[in-house]
Amino acid sequence: MDIILLPFIGLILASMQQSQNLKKGHLGKNTTNNLKGISIIFIILHHINQELGPVAGTFFASRLSLAGRLGVAIFFFVSGYGIMRQYQIKGPSYLKNFLPHRLLPIVTLYILAMVLIFPIKHFPMGLTLKQAAISMTNGAPFVNDSWFILAIIFFYLAFWLAMKLSKGHALPLFAILLLLTAIYTGYIWKKGMGEWLINAAFVFPTGVLFAYYEDHFIPFIQRYYSPIMLSTSTLFAICFTLDEVHSLMRYRMLSEIFFALALMIISYKVECDNKLFLISSAWSLNLYLYHPFIASLLHGNAAIAAHSVIYGLLVIILSYLVAGVIAFIQRKVKTIRPKETIPVKS
């Protein structure tokens, strides 16, 4: 795995460049899309490493469990930040079209994944419709690791509802958003579904909050950039260390929030720009929906799983192939428009 991970880290370093985000007063779309792309690649590598377990050649990859967790934090922050920025740019019309234009495509892709994956798990593996339905409510959906997509759907709905009820006013908006996030977190914790479902939960509203007040933050960040960057990075390091020592959820959640904030502060002056990251961002939902299933399926083949590098490369290639095909079909469907009927004169 190290032979795959280290070149990827090298690619990140090679694609770094000076950013104008701080002068412009906001995180540009190119910056956030590259970050989203990097996060999904780290998540894919994390799941590959999970399937492989401790094998030779995974000295660095053995820490990918942490990278996967932090990758989710990046994705959640960028998602929350992005939808609030779009609302600020487009105004109330964005909220009016939010459900059909932003949420429905995600739900549609998820349903498609269920339709494609269920028969594969039903016929050779014996998965029943009842088992599949139950899996959608217990934190372990039959579409492998798709809790992440369900979380995104929940947070998008929470954002829409909070904006509708608050009419965009700060205090009720964030009170509702934080309350809904707390209910989500509390329910999962009480049901014992798994801490990975809630590690980064509060990063999403943090991203929304950051975008909402970004205009107020920018003069302060411009003036005190270095102290703020060092402070957020240090707070992340402290919370991260406390979590490693004590393994307490509060430290883990805080480490996710401060990591996302530190990375965003850094991104005002330094950003990555790479075609692979942008493609990964554009295909991120499909990559997330299918790569865990592909990783699990290939790991069931002893001949492939015995060679970690070949296994890892096959998972990556097939995941991008499937995501690319579905993205291509999506583009084709979008270009289909009903033909206008020409009225006939009587």
pLDDT digits (tens, 9 = 90+) for 170-201: 999 999 999 999 999 999 999 989 888 999 99
pLDDT of 63 higher than 90: no
**pLDDT for 242-258, tens place per residue?**
998 998 999 999 999 99
% pLDDT > 70, the chain: 93
pLDDT band at 52 (very low <50, low <70, confident <90, very high): confident
pLDDT band at 346 (very low <50, low <70, confident <90, very high): very low
**Residue that wins the pLDDT comparison between 2 and 185:** 185
Tokens of 53: 């377990």
Tokens of 266: 């850094």
pLDDT of 234 higher than 90: yes
Q: What per-residue confidence (pLDDT) applies to 342?
A: 47
Q: What per-residue confidence (pLDDT) applies to 236?
A: 96
pLDDT of 158 higher than 90: yes
For residue 268, with 0-12 CB atoms within 10 Å meaning exposed, 13-18 middle and 19 or more buried, which class applies? Answer: buried
Q: What per-residue confidence (pLDDT) applies to 61?
A: 63
Average pLDDT over residues 270-294: 96
* φ, ψ for residue 270, nearest 5 deg: -130, 130
Q: Quick check: pTM over 0.95?
A: no
Choose among 239, 269, 264: nearest CA to 251. Answer: 239
pLDDT of 113 higher than 70: yes
Map tokens 């401790």 to a residue: 54
How many CA atoms, within 13 angstroms, populate the side-chain half-sphere of residue 163? 25
Choose among 247, 323, 330, 225: nearest CA to 280. Answer: 323
Tokens of 172: 């009720």
From residue 184, alpha-carbon distances to 132, 155, 206 in Å are 22, 9, 15
